[in-house]
């Protein structure tokens, strides 16, 4: 067993060392790294490549594992192998060295992509290779979908969905990255919590633009383009979106509240009757709980003059907006217009995506996830939740009604803080347990 696990870890390290960094400007992407990743897979996973059908959509990969007796209810396990850019600066261990520290069950693997999302992609491949070596064959068709640009455009996943739709494929279950097994994120609950995303917020970048006559900075008008833009940002920040509790929010609170201790237990177990109080509580507990109950805005980019002594003729801000389930892009833009109250500030949505439909948190496909978690994480409380980020799975909601977002790894608060940041890492034991989870999901397909 130890030898098999060590071999799996070494394969993982091999793939982590390939710097598949996706960039918004695709002309800056090193496609040779993506080619190298794809070229490495057959040698690492020979049974997968000998048994499953593989096709390429751009640099994204789709594998089909034919079922023994398919009835038209395939399973899709998916992830993405691109990662956000990283340099060595500020990291305790170089981001693409895949170094291991510690010993035994305390070993930690440091690398960009361990959590987001090569860890899941490679764990799925390990589970499939292991089952093939054991002579296993699924009853239903299984698809493995691995995107190459989830962190930027999501074009690979969209191309795969288009291909599946044209073939009439309608998955019974889609499982992508998203939630995880976490601790101490809910007041009064000490047991681990497996948060399984049944939906995800919408996402759009909103560009705020002010255009006016420029000139020399020595004779500025009372209201320059940058001042007007700053006022718009301040007004927007002062008028947050209203808090709402969706049915998924309420079910999560009820599920976790039943396991809570302390004075808040009485509030959480009466969630439906105490919604105004709960909205207030969630708005104050943390940034994470505040984001759960409302649409959020974050100004992420600013642009003004090209010179220090010239008034800008155009000032621009980009606002990253995460749209709450139950709202829409149109409703969001209307709120921004009312908050800013200035017709000279142009407001336009870029790459807008509506919130995803809500998948059921009951029924046979939900129970497959719950059953696998009961085996790999028996102490965890399983609850539905709305994913705050965006994933490739949102494209699959157009061909399937049961789309879940869950990565079967335990993540501490500190480890979650390394996502898209320095010192991303995973405990080796955690990753190996993730392989077991995917093996159980494949066995139930």
Catalytic positions, written as ranges? 82, 150
Name the pairing type of β-strands 75-80 and 142-147: parallel
Burial of residue 152 (CB within 10 Å: 0-12, 13-18, 19+) is middle
Number of C-beta neighbours around residue 225 at 10 A:
24
225-238 and 329-340 helices, crossing angle to 10°? 120
Phi, psi of 358, rounded to the nearest 5 degrees: -90, 120
Distance CA 291, CA 200 (A): 12
Distance CA 393, CA 147 (A): 10
DSSP E strands, 336-395:
346-353, 381-387
Distance CA 126, CA 128 (A): 5
Angle at 373 (CA atoms; ends 369, 379), nearest 5 degrees: 145
Distance CA 271, CA 283 (A): 15
DSSP E strands, 149-303:
173-182, 193-200, 202-211, 215-216, 296-303
Distance CA 339, CA 337 (A): 5
DSSP E strands, 278-371:
296-303, 310-311, 314-323, 346-353
Tokens at 355, concatenated? 């919130």
Distance CA 333, CA 343 (A): 13
Q: Give the three-state DSSP class for 136.
A: coil
Which helix (H) or strand (E) covers residue 234, if one does? Answer: helix 225-238
Phi, psi of 19, rounded to the nearest 5 degrees: -80, 75
31-44 and 2-16 helices, crossing angle to 10°? 160
């Amino acid at each position: 067993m130890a030898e098999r696990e060590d071999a799996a870890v070494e394969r993982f390290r091999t793939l982590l060392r390939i710097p598949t960094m996706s960039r918004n400007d695709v002309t800056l992407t090193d496609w040779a790294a993506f080619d190298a990743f794809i070229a490495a897979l057959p040698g690492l996973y020979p049974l997968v490549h000998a048994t499953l059908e593989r096709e390429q959509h751009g640099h994204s990969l789709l594998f089909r594992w034919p079922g023994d007796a398919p009835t038209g209810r395939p399973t899709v396990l998916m992830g993405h192998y691109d990662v956000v850019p990283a340099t060595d600066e500020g990291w305790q261990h170089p981001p693409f060295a895949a170094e291991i520290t510690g010993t035994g069950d305390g070993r930690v693997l440091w690398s960009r992509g361990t959590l987001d999302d090569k860890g899941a992609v490679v764990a799925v491949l390990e589970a499939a290779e292991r089952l093939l070596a054991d002579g296993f064959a699924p009853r239903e068709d299984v698809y493995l979908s691995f995107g190459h640009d989830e962190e930027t455009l999501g074009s690979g996943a969209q191309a795969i969905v288009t291909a599946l739709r044209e073939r009439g494929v309608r998955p019974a279950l889609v499982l992508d990255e998203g939630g995880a097994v976490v601790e101490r994120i809910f007041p009064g609950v000490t047991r681990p919590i497996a948060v399984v995303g049944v939906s995800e917020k919408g996402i759009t970048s909103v560009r705020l633009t002010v255009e006016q006559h420029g000139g020399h900075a020595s004779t500025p008008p009372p209201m320059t383009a940058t001042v007007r833009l700053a006022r718009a940002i301040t007004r927007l920040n002062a008028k947050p979106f209203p808090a709402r509790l969706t049915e998924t929010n309420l079910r999560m609170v009820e599920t976790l509240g039943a396991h809570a201790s302390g004075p808040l237990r009485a509030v959480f177990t009466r969630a439906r009757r105490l919604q105004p109080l709960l909205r207030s509580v969630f708005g104050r507990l943390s940034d994470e709980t505040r984001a759960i109950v409302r649409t959020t805005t974050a100004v992420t980019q600013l642009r003004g003059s090209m010179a220090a002594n010239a008034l800008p003729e155009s000032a621009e801000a980009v606002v990253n907006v995460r749209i709450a389930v139950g709202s829409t892009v149109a409703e969001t833009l209307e709120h921004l217009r009312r908050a800013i109250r200035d017709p000279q500030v142009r407001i336009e949505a870029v790459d807008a995506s509506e919130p995803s439909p809500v998948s059921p948190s009951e029924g046979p496909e939900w129970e497959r996830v719950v059953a696998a978690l009961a085996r790999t994480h028996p102490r965890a409380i399983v609850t539905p939740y709305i994913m705050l980020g965006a994933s490739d799975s949102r494209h699959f909601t157009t061909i399937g009604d049961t789309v879940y977002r869950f990565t079967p790894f335990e993540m501490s608060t500190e480890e979650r803080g390394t996502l898209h940041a320095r010192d991303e890492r995973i405990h080796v034991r955690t990753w190996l347990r993730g392989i077991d989870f995917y093996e159980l999901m494949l066995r139930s397909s």
